[in-house]
Amino acid sequence: MDFDHSPRAQALQQQLETFMQTYLLPHNAAWHQAVQQGDYPPPFLEDLKALAREEGLWNLFLPGLREDEPGTRLGNLDYAPLAEAMGQLHWAAEVFNCSAPDTGNMELLHRFATSAQRTQWLTPLLHGTIRSAFAMSEPDVASSDPTNLQTTVRREGDDLVLNGRKWFITGVAHPHCRLMIVMARNAPDHSAAAETRHHQHSMVLVPLDTPGVDVVRNISVVHHHAPEGHGEIVFRQVRVPADHLLGGWGEGFAMAQARLGPGRVHHCMRTIGQCELALALATERALERRTFGKYLADYANVQEWIALSRIEIDQARLLVLRCAWLLDHPERTEPAALRAQVAAIKVVAAGLQTRVVERAMQIFGAMGLSPDTPLAQFWTWGRALHLLDGPDEVHLRSVARHELERARARMGASSAYFTTPEQMRTPPHLR
């Protein structure tokens, strides 16, 4: 495995970091002020997007872009340090047209959209003129198991009709959000495919302004109000033309799996950036703050927190890079092994973020919980990461299942390592 970033990616990293220092950070205070006053997104966002695009810092995440589509066509490994840098400023990714959930939706459209759907939705998303949301989770069922989802879609003549309720749908309050990709249960369908649990759902492209779509509230997360929104949405007899089906009827589940692969890795890359920043803030604070005649940095417990944070960040980065490398080289591993890798780093990243940021908050004292540093927001996001794109427990289950599958396949091969002849036995199921 080679984790070296290509010379082009290294140059882009340098360019992106300079861009952030020169144009984004000077706007950071103004950004927060504007958002607090309800002026979201602040008027300078579009200027910054135009500037980023002019500099070639645009759609940095999508390796499979076509020749006529704007973007850098970097692989996942090359994208990692760029996403890490963007992660340090929570509004940066949008400037480079690299923010979730648009990135995942663009990937999905890229892979499964018809040519008409590409023109209508993918092109404006790639150009950053609209934004989008992905609507899967529902308040009434345990959504970590998507086979539970109850919102229905039924075929009626040349239309598709949706009914149900979704929640925590990120991005729907963004004033430029125009499209939702909705995962819905196929209303009574007697085709053979509909008989299996994993073929009962379809994805439908629903314009946000379709009659019957009602965004009933923006749900705050740990009392944090996200201006782009985590919306609760009711669908009442929402009617769209049949050609708004994305992919095949009943293929929603498989497409959702495809969508979440690189998207999860992007979250983890941004996490590493946030943790690096939290550690940088904490170490500088520890070197200047004194209690009982000593700098905080002189206390053993603070040194241990700093050391653990450094070790854990570096461990996590290596895992993330390995996962990105495997995504770029699918021929080097089994699909099941790759899925287990993605699941593993999602758990690692969530735990890393809450631990590293919490230590930093403690070093900062009360200020760490205030809105004056980015730490409280990073912690809140870390807490959400334990759930969004699937709870830790579900990912741990995937990792364990993969490991047990491997054990089943080699059953007995390890018994030669037992130390007594009685134990070097044929496993029960092979006797």
Return the number of other C-beta atoms located less than 10 Å from residue 159's C-beta: 13
**Region near ligand FAD per CB under 6 A, out of 82-90, 134-142, 322-330, 417-425:** 134-142
Q: How far is the CB of 234 from ligand FAD (least distance, A)?
A: 15
Taking the complex as a whole, how short is the minimal distance between the CB of residue 141 and ligand FAD, in angstroms?
7
Contacting ligand FAD within 373-402 (CB under 6 A):
384, 387-388, 390-391, 393-394, 397
Q: What CA–CA distance (Å, rounded) separates 361 from 358?
A: 5
Q: For residue 407, give the 3-state DSSP assignment.
A: helix
- The least CB distance from residue 166 to ligand FAD, in Å, is 6
Helical segments of 188-251, H only = none
Residue 19 structure tokens: 């861009």
Q: Does residue 142 interact with ligand FAD by CB under 6 A?
A: yes
d(CA 79, CA 11): 12
Q: Tell which one of 135, 177, 286, 352 touches ligand FAD (CB under 6 A).
A: 135
In the complex with ligand FAD, the residue whose CB is nearer, 391 or 412, is 391
Q: Is 137 in the site for ligand FAD (CB under 6 A)?
A: yes
Closer Cβ to ligand FAD, 136 or 278, answer by number: 136
The Cα–Cα gap between 300 and 305 comes to 9
Residues β-bridged to residue 214: 234
Q: State CA 261 to chain mean position distance.
A: 9
DSSP secondary structure code for residue 121 in this structure: I
Instruction: Please name which of 376, 394, 163, 389 lies closest in space to residue 256, comparing C-alpha atoms.
Output: 389
- Pick 220 or 315: Cβ nearer ligand FAD: 220
Contact 57, 96 (CB under 8 A): yes
| Residues found in the chain | 431
Regarding 132 and contact with ligand FAD (CB under 6 A), the answer is no
**Which range, of 139-147, 264-272, 284-292, 304-312, touches ligand FAD by CB under 6 A?**
139-147
Q: Is the dihedral of CA 64, 70, 73, 79 positive or negative?
A: negative
Phi first, then psi, for residue 100 (nearest 5°) are: -75, 150
Does residue 41 have a cis bond before it (omega within 30 degrees)? yes
Q: Which stretch binds ligand FAD (CB under 6 A): 22-30, 141-149, 189-197, 352-360?
A: 141-149
Q: How far is the CB of 134 from ligand FAD (least distance, A)?
A: 5
Binding to ligand FAD by CB under 6 A, coded x per residue (else -) over 96-125, reads -----x------------------------
- Is residue 151 within 8 Å of 229, Cβ to Cβ? no
Q: Whose structure tokens read 């040194």? A: 303
Q: Is the peptide bond before 146 cis (omega within 30 degrees of 0)?
A: no
Alpha-carbon span 356 to 286, nearest angstrom: 14
Q: Residue 393 CB, nearest distance to ligand FAD (Å)?
A: 3
Task: Find the binding residues for ligand FAD in span 150-179 (CB under 6 A).
Answer: 168-170
Q: Nearest distance from residue 8's CB to ligand FAD, in Å?
A: 32
The stretch near ligand FAD (CB under 6 A) out of 61-69, 128-136, 187-195, 344-352 is 128-136
Q: Binding string, 228-257, against ligand FAD, x = CB under 6 A?
A: --x---------------------------
Binding site for ligand FAD (CB under 6 A): 101, 134-137, 142-144, 168-170, 221, 230, 384, 387-388, 390-391, 393-394, 397
